Structure 1
Amino acid sequence: MKIPVLEKMMFSEPSIWVTATTVVTLISMVCLCFTELIGNHLQYSKFTNNNKPSAKQGIKLSSKTGMLILYTPAFIAGAVSFFVFPGGDLRFFLLKFAVTFHFFKRDLEVLFVHKYSGGMILGSIIFITLFYISAAASLIIVQYLSLGLPDPSIDTKYIGLILFILGISGNFYHHNLLSKLRNSNEKEYKIPRGGLFDLVICPHYLFEIIIFIGISFISQTSFAFACTFGDSMYLIVRSYATRKWYVNKFEDFPKDVKCVIPYIF
């Protein structure tokens, strides 16, 4: 079933490879969401231990090292794309910039903002790293393949840029609030306060979703929209698990604080 509005917002498929990649990405993200929903979490942040015997967890790295491994290859892929694909139109430049800056910002936060209390399991590090670098590279390659195709009749790249800036700013602001919850030598988790933390437990996820919506509106390819849909579903499921974790850990957790969407979920 074709949806006219969506057809007007997206480039036509440049190749069968792009169509296949889009379908595989959607299926993979649906499977990942399902595993998170049933409690088989990716092993990072507060879910690193996940109540599993330590002998079965695998190799564990520090969170700082793990996070740098997650984001740096995708950042490098974005930066290299400016030299590998130097031409293109304004949309292509904005897409390359958005992808590169997003992961560059994440590296800066790992180095100078975040505070850590645990570690990361190597298996999860490898999985997430491969996903990030493949998504970053594929977003750029698909956009490159779409150069020369007729532009969508509804142009959303400037709306996408505004959403991207809003998402980046809100995400950084709430990451900074999280970092101020405890001193460098403290390891215990606390209930976040301030900003949208008074309404949802994962506002940083909400703004990350806005980041990817912005990227998909800049790109206007089916692959970008597929990545945004999959990433959004994963973050929504992850936020549900995060709220459940806080409710179980803190008896005084505010019951009116939602997961990721204020007043709704």
Structure 2
Amino acid sequence: MGRSSEFYLSDKSVMLGGSIYYRNDETGRVRHEVSGPRALRSLMELNPFLSQLALGHRQDLFLSGAVRTYHRGQHLRGSSGSMVHIVLGGCVIEEPVYGDAATTRIHGAGAVLGDIEVLSPDVLTPTTRCLNSTVTVSVPMDRMRTIADTNASLTSAIGRAVTERIAVGERIYNRHSLPTEHRLAGLFTYLLEHCPVPSVRYGRMLEGPSQSDLAGALSVSRATIETAVRTLRRDGLLVTGYRTYEFPSERKLAEVGKVRIPRQMVTGEASESI
């Protein structure tokens, strides 16, 4: 019996990075769906931010902007925040501008780059660059503000995005009392939910962030991150390559990171949510 026979119409679509996959709830295995317009529609339907909006409101955004693909190292935003980017897939890093008190953050699918600026025009625009291939819906800032002024559901969705950004800061990034390896495990667990790419061995993995990026996100030195990475590797929780990170057990990773996983894993060992 072929592998494809394990998947049925009842299988759920899941988003891994910028790709759509089918997931079999019984086996936990995933397979690639399709590329092109159909996959793009699925990315939009599954996007955590866009899924909050009615179809007509989503269409307003698409008509006002454009779907664009960016490569690793490309800058999405810089000295001026002329565009709002809704991340459909990929991994990006926001870094504070000179003199700003903001901290470095890594984002994936569902992030709204420029959300705070839509509501507060005086906020400084952080430098944002892609850590791997990234797909966004890009809308001019002025147009986004105009739509938000007349669309209460969009304003509400942006407000929730800002609130979630603050909550993630406390839940993932600002846990300075924990050992660095625990904080790093928590960050990895969070990023696996938002910007994974396919992994042959474990279903999904992370690709793109350097150790310097991870150090900036956790406000520690690169040497401290190197030590934490060695500890996670020694404990069998992490397999590394060149800017790739694979995880034999997401359940154990989450336990070490002291974070909760809201849904069943799609990778690693079969396990329930914790």
- The interval holding the TM-score normalised by the smaller chain is 0.3 to 0.5
Higher helix proportion (structure 1 or 2): 1
Higher strand proportion (structure 1 or 2): 2
